[in-house]
Amino acid sequence: MNEYARTGVDPEFGRGGNVFDRYYGDVNVRPNPNLGPIGKAFYAIRLWPGELGTKGGLLTDPDARVLDAVGRPIEGLYSVGNNAASVMGPSYPGAGSTLGPAMTFAYRAVSRMAGRPIPLAHTELLGAGA
């Protein structure tokens, strides 16, 4: 690692090899703001890449009502945000992508709770079985 810090090049993982990496680096470290020398002993842990989004959650209807095992809404039980199954299925476009659906479904849930459910404008987009 110290050789990488001296040369500014990480041939194993390419750390600091592009402008996006360097943006979050330490501007006081040269020649590569992502590669600082190691001067004393330290602790390390193995990390595996992951995501912020969930891969599960409660299934809900378009008004955020939680569905039972046969697909019927459970009276009085709602779920939004990372507690609900993602509207994006198994994908996760990036940080913050859960915020829009969370706010939208929270709004729809509260509208239903208040007795003023919001009709869906394009039910044809729900697909078969909806």
Question: HEC string of the chain?
Answer: CHHHHHHCCCCCCCCCCCHHHHHCCCCCCCCCCCCCCCCCCCCCCCCCCCCCCCCCCECECCCCEEECCCCCEEEEEECCHHHECCCCCCCCCCCCCCHHHHHHHHHHHHHHHCCCCCCCCCHHHHCCCC
Higher pLDDT, 35 or 53: 35
Indicate whether this model's pTM tops 0.75: no
Q: Can you give the pLDDT at residue 122?
A: 86
pLDDT in tens, 56-86: 789 999 999 999 999 999 999 999 988 899 8
